[in-house]
A and B are shown apart, each in its own frame.
Chain A
Amino acid sequence: MMNVVYFAWVRERIGLPQEQVDTNAATVADLVEELKAREDRYEAAFADISALRVALDQELADFDAPLAGVKEIAFFPPMTGG
């Protein structure tokens, strides 16, 4: 089980701040494909992954990064701090 967390408009499109996902996906991109296949709201949120960023256990990562040993994955748009 993996804790999947969403922020900003990704959270709004999916309609959840976080959820537990049972997955054997090997990489972030594989997990994205699994989620997109679930329901339209995931398809809408992940339609353009170039507009998204991902963090694995609270560290920024790439979409081809492996998920082995990862407990928490977060999806969000580019950050707008400062």
Chain B
Amino acid sequence: MTVRVQPELFDAGAELNRFAQGRSDVGAVVSFTGVVRDTDGDLQEMQIEHYPGMTESAIAKIVQEATTRWGLADALVIHRYGALKPGAPIMMVATASAHRAAAFEAADFLMDYLKSRAPFWKKEITTAGASWVAAKDADEDALKRW
């Protein structure tokens, strides 16, 4: 299991290659990359704040749960904080398991939990001003399917 919380840019392709490299015990590797989206064409940057210490332990707990529940061979989570430009990668998850269903489901579970249970907060800076991104009811509801 690898968890990294960092301000620096990461190369999702290189991270995925490194994650998948040299494994003969898995039949499936799934990955997801989240990107800063400029919904209305006026986003200047997205600022991501987090709770150092709790962030790492909360993510580790979520990854541990996914690993146990789906019998993952390995999992990777990278999540950035700081000021990010539109189009920049925010975070990625990767899962490795014997079969694809477990790898897909575990990655989906990780995304749902990282969204609502890892202590990050997004603020959008647009040409019209700054505003905190509100959590959606749908994000909380998504946890219920697990």
Contacts and interface: CB of A to CB of B under 8 A. Distances in A.
Nearest to B57: A58
Contact of B115 (A7, A9, A55, A80): A80
Interface residues of B, number: 26
A82 B91 contact: yes
A76 B123 CA distance: 13
A53 B120 CA distance: 12
Contacts, number: 68
B94 to A, nearest CB: 14
Interface of B: 34, 49, 51, 53-54, 57-58, 79, 90-91, 111, 114-123, 132-135, 140
17 contacts: A5-B51, A7-B119, A9-B132, A55-B51, A55-B54, A58-B51, A58-B54, A74-B51, A74-B119, A79-B121, A80-B120, A81-B79, A81-B122, A82-B34, A82-B91, A82-B111, A82-B118
Interface of A: 5, 7-9, 55, 58-60, 74, 76-82
